[in-house]
Chain A
């Protein structure tokens, strides 16, 4: 009897060891790939301050960087996705002209999140508004609700995607504030690409951050502030 027990014990030991050897590299690779898997913190609110006086008319560097980073085609047909776009605006009353980038404004009270039937549109604890590509059913109600026309619908099959930025035909997408870069401690691609440093990225909640200091010292505007959405993207010189 004891012989049988020993055999069984050693079998279990060997099995457990084999399982550990099989799983461990996967776990380690997961760690390497994803780094710290801690969730986003609600102590942080990521945002941007865009200095329109520094944004050059005709310069498209932020748009190109976004397209490259997120694997967008860069085409501008009505059915193509544009996560960030340059808008030229002219004040009707005095003729003053400005050029500025427009993208998801990462609202504190995002209308897209309110209207999404399946909770696919969501706001992360750190204020980044995202679309869960596995939950989006492609109803486009969020596109109807967004006051900034910041969202695009994927009209065609996609190829050559960036593994860090999942996208899918038949779902809605928008600027993610380069969440995959932020989680690695990097700045969003548009902010990094701007030669004139017109796009300042940082934590709005951290009083010592450069963006918070700037927000205290210069006059800034939220686009369509009348809607009371408290956007994470602010504009200077508008």
Chain B
């Protein structure tokens, strides 16, 4: 019994993984059913913290879905062979994460049953309405792009499709950043820095997810990634991580310079308790400093280091989004600048938020959907990167 051939064991493992992913997705649906039945009262969200954990998960997935396409763009638009070999896998991950993120976003609505209303009534001044078009367009474009790569007869259109995806994802992540950038009255948001910040963050998060999945696929197939390729890609991840840290630092520095924003910055960076801790320990240390050390320190940068660094970047992403989305709402809205304010509706007070299990179930359900789509697709189609024996570029 103990000498099962590896193939047999792997087949079993595959089905176990798929069942586990399916079970988590089902748990997410159960959370949705409960929220539908009892209302959002069973979530930790309230009238002060109106967007919670589901939005942290959804926005991570959507931003990473855009960023992971960077791998494809470097291949298709800039013609780098190493990246071109990885474009199909990057596209698949993009579709999977977009599906997961949108599912979470949609199912967190107060009335998810009215999704047809959202699909048929467009308010042209609403970034949300633009995003409905941007997300569905992205979905279709990436599918066409995949088709041009995987169907030989469609190959001639690959470059054009790649370019279209390249442009579209910039617009899409700009749209995601604009959701917050257009909130003029909130201290945490309402900054033109947010769309470019989200774009640079998407590069780092997308590439980190790509590294994790790629490492797993190589291990599964008992292959070793060419060290030269690993070296190039880990350096790119390092540059993206540095770039995103720069954007986040710039956002906070500009805020600190504006006198009316200083109390908000002191809240996030010094006095905010869980938000301050998550920012410094979660985002800065675990999500940036440690990954950079694992990538660039002499003697580091091996497969395991890059895998750990990528996982830490993802962890840091969740920490940053928690601070940005929930910390940003927890800080009281300045309705009467220059006045001390109190009321029965939480005016002038730091809002309390304790996420409930249902929110986490919904969030992990979204991750599970992305996981199941990826696992099934990688099994039934050929997404394994096929590198040429000689790398010209």
Contacts and interface: CB of A to CB of B under 8 A. Distances in A.
Interface of A: 76-82, 85-93, 102, 111, 113-120, 135-141, 143-149, 151-157, 168-172, 223-224, 227
Given A86-B343, A87-B341, A155-B40, A147 B121 contact: no
Instruction: Please list the 8 inter-chain residue pairs (A to B) with the smallest Cβ-Cβ separation, ordered nearest first.
Output: A138-B110, A170-B110, A147-B185, A117-B128, A78-B46, A76-B344, A140-B50, A117-B129
Contact of A118 (B117, B125, B343): B117
A87 B118 contact: no
A62 to B, nearest CB: 13
B340 interface: yes
Tier of interface size on chain B: 35 or more
Nearest to A84: B345
Contact of A82 (B112, B339, B345, B352): B345
Given A89-B336, A171-B110, 10 more contacts: A78-B351, A85-B347, A89-B339, A117-B123, A119-B121, A135-B121, A138-B110, A139-B109, A147-B333, A152-B47
Contacts of B179: 141
Contacts of B296: none
Given A87-B343, A114-B125, A102 B110 contact: no
Interface in B63-111: 109-111
Given A82-B344, A227-B185, A153 B110 contact: yes
B135 to A, nearest CB: 12
A111 B341 contact: no
Interface of B: 38-41, 46-48, 50-51, 109-112, 114-115, 117-118, 121-123, 125-129, 132, 179, 182-186, 189, 329, 333, 335-336, 338-347, 351-352
Contacts of B352: 78
B56 to A, nearest CB: 15
A223 B335 contact: yes
B366 to A, nearest CB: 16
A149 B347 contact: yes
A96 to B, nearest CB: 9
B51 A144 contact: yes
Contacts of B48: 78, 149
26 contacts: A76-B344, A78-B351, A79-B40, A79-B46, A80-B47, A82-B47, A82-B344, A85-B347, A87-B336, A89-B339, A91-B339, A114-B123, A115-B182, A116-B123, A117-B126, A118-B123, A119-B123, A139-B109, A139-B128, A140-B110, A144-B51, A151-B47, A154-B110, A170-B40, A223-B336, A227-B185
Contacts of A82: 47, 344-345
A145 B345 CA distance: 17
Given A137-B109, A138-B111, A144-B183, A155 B121 contact: no
A92 B258 CA distance: 19
Contacts of A148: 335
A92 B334 CA distance: 14
Contacts of A116: 123, 126, 128
A140 B54 CA distance: 13
A85 B345 contact: yes
A81 B345 CA distance: 9
B124 to A, nearest CB: 9
A222 to B, nearest CB: 12
B343 A102 contact: yes
B185 to A, nearest CB: 3
A91 to B, nearest CB: 6
A98 to B, nearest CB: 8
Contacts of B342: 87-88
B350 to A, nearest CB: 12
